[in-house]
Amino acid sequence: MATYSTSEFKSGLKVLIDSEPCSMIEVEKVKPGKGQAFDRVKLRNLVNGRVWERTFKSGESVEAADVMELEMEYLYEDGEFWHFMKTDDSFEQVAADINAIVDAKIWLKEQDKYTMVLWNDAPISVTAPNFVELEVTDTDPGLKGDTAQGGTKPATLSSGAVVKVPLFVNIGDRLRVDTRNSEYQNRVTK
Amino acid sequence: MVDWKPSASLQNLQQRAYVLAKIRRFFSERAVLEVETPLLASSTVPDAYIESIAAQVVEGNSNRKNFLQTSPEFFMKRLLASGSGSIYQIAKAFRQEEKSARHNIEFTLLEWYRLSYSLDQLMAELEELVQEVLDCGPISRLSYREIFRQHLQIDPHEILLEELQELASSEIDLSGSDLSKTDYLQLLLSNSIEPKLPPFCIIYDYPSEQAALATVATDEHGVVVAKRFELFGHGMELANGYFELSDAAEQRARFEKDNATRKEKGLQAHDADEKLIAALESGLPSCSGVAVGVDRLLMLLVDAKHISEVISFDSERV
């Protein structure tokens, strides 16, 4: 099993911590002028997204996690699994379960591309791009001419996400939305 | 494309020149002699947590293993023992594998020794120097015991290893548990105390296990402590000072202990520097000494996030 020693620690490194795959976000060397050095590492658990700090004694080793990040095109859902296809022209398909898809679920649109993290070749998470363009499937009727003033209303998008939109938005409009905070950006001309 | 440019801005290099000039003026006004000592020498410090960089020196047909010095301390003590009087040096120092936002393999130390100064007098002089360079306010002084009592409600001199283990695991998510009492104390200090310290603060009277090259003495609680202090600035270790150990036999014993620790850790032992021992035997005058990280002082002066911003070419560019 491959391992990394603390001297190889750097952000982006994928390691197994308590048997779960984690990614190093930040590595800080704590080295007193006299005495034992430590590495304080900010980690993200790639399965549940938890972010926390763990301190390692310099010289320690941790197991490497066989983690890959791939771009995937979303195909369809069969009620149990969400099916994606590799974008490397291999046409190879991968099925993700609800645990992997949970964060991206409300942003899925067929033929759009997503980032999938695989651990030992099994998908553990899917991330939507920062910005997606989706159609409004349901919202209260728009107020004509009301393009400037504030005021928002909820709108349901084709993917299932509900976002706050300005009052002038209508069913059938295409919207650009930031998936990180569910914020409406602008209308997109069809 | 080859990245040939310096890591520091011209502005920061100007600040650096200005600080160096200020330091030299500070000591010249106080009649402390500037010295230079060798960076390349046949022996090095056996401290188990400092790795020296070895260098081969060719002499005729033989190779001699030398070391780049990790601090000018041993040479400066030989000067003191030979009657130099109070001295200071702005020296390059080298330490293997020390690379971080606050560490560069090659760095600059300001080190000075004051004859017949108590540790209190030296702390006061350090405070003056730092105030002059950084234009900061008064620097508070707290004992090692006080800061642990205040922030973690423990007495660092009395606490048992098991109690420390428990405290550390409640404060820090720590991988592994094979740490010594000293390791735990240092970890808690950097993790749980340093962030809460005043912007500038001197900590003194360290546990005797952390004496390094300082004398030990009994404090007002009847506990044997190391006559050592450290200056912290915005959570960063800036200076380390000792009331200097002058007992040659004790010095030899500490080197032997360091080497025993090195062997335990699977590191190569370094023979005691016999020239330093001989100098101590001939008599080191009573003195206090301190080493200041010049690069880190500059980091605070120009508000740098990374040490490379104040070094012309950092270790990544050489």
| pLDDT tens per residue, range A48-62 | 889 999 999 988 999
Residue B26, domain member (yes or no)? yes
Chain A residues bordering chain B (beta-carbon distance below 8 Å): 7, 28-38, 40, 52-57, 60, 62
b/e map of B232-259 (b: 16 or more CB within 10 Å)? Answer: bbbeebbbbbbbbbbebeebbebbeebb
How far B239 CA sits from the closest chain A CA (Å)?
9
pLDDT at A145: 59
B16 pLDDT higher than 70: yes
Residue B198 lies in a domain: no
Q: How far apart are CA B88 and CA A108, in angstroms?
A: 67
Q: Is the dihedral of CA A159, A161, A164, A170 positive or negative?
A: positive
B299 membership: H or E segment, kind and range: helix B294-302
- The whole-number pLDDT of residue A59 equals 87
Residue B237 in any domain: the answer is no
Residue B61 confidence (pLDDT) above 90: no
B175 touches chain A (CB under 8 A): yes
For the stretch A112-142, pLDDT in tens is 999 999 998 899 999 999 999 999 999 988 6
Count of A-B CB contacts under 8 Å: 67
pLDDT at B39 over 70: yes
pLDDT in tens, A43-97: 999 888 899 999 999 889 999 999 998 999 999 999 899 999 999 999 999 999 9
- For residue B251, being part of any structural domain is answered with no
The predicted model gives B85-98 an average pLDDT of: 94
The type of residue at B249 is A
Dihedral over alpha carbons B269, B67, B298, B15 (to 10 degrees): 180
Q: How far apart are CA A181 and CA A158, in angstroms?
A: 18
Residues of A in contact with B180 (CB under 8 A): 36
Give the CATH number of the domain where residue B104 resides: 3.30.930.10
The pTM of this model reads 0.82
- Helices B294-302 and B10-29: crossing angle in degrees, nearest 10, is 120
Say if domain A67-127 classifies as CATH 3.90.1150.170: no
Residue A146 has pLDDT above 60, yes or no: no
**A33-37, A67-71, A78-82, B114-118: which is most confident:** B114-118
pLDDT confidence of residue A143: 65
Q: What is the pLDDT of residue A132?
A: 94
Q: Please state which CATH class domain A3-63 belongs to.
A: mainly beta
- B52 in any annotated domain: yes
Region A30-34: mean pLDDT is 83
* Residue B11, domain member (yes or no): yes
Give the pLDDT band (50/70/90) at residue B70: very high
Counting the structural domains of chain B, the total is 1
Q: Stretch A8-32: mean pLDDT, rounded?
A: 92
Q: Is the pLDDT of residue B84 over 80?
A: yes
- Taking residues B137-154, what's their average pLDDT? 96
Average pLDDT of chain B is 95
What is the ipTM, given to two decimal places? 0.83
Token pair 């010249």 in the structure block, residue: B28
Averaged pLDDT for residues B76-84:
98
State which residues form the domain around B80.
1-134+289-318
Q: Does B194 touch chain A (CB under 8 A)?
A: no
Residue B100's Cβ-count burial label (10 Å; 0-12, 13-18, 19+) is: middle
Q: Where in chain A is the domain with CATH 2.40.50.140?
A: 67-127, 131-188
Reading the block at residue B235, the tokens are: 């959570």
Predicted pLDDT of residue A144: 62
Name the CATH architecture for the domain at A131-188.
Beta Barrel (2.40)
Instruction: State residue B165 phi and psi, 5-degree precision.
Output: -60, -45
For testing contact with chain B, the best of A3, A34, A58 (most B CBs within 10 A): A34
pLDDT tens, residue by residue, B180-230: 999 999 999 999 998 899 999 999 999 999 998 999 999 999 999 999 999
Average pLDDT for B223-249: 96
Out of B97, B100, B210, name the one closest to residue A34 (CB).
B210
Q: What pLDDT score does B59 carry? A: 86
Q: DSSP of A45-90, one letter per residue?
A: ETTT--EEEEEEETT-EEEBP-EEEEEEEEEEE-SS-EEEEESSSS
Radius of gyration of chain A (CA): 21
DSSP characters for B136-192? ----EEEEHHHHHHHHHS--TTT--HHHHHHHHHHH--BS-----HHHHHHHHIIII
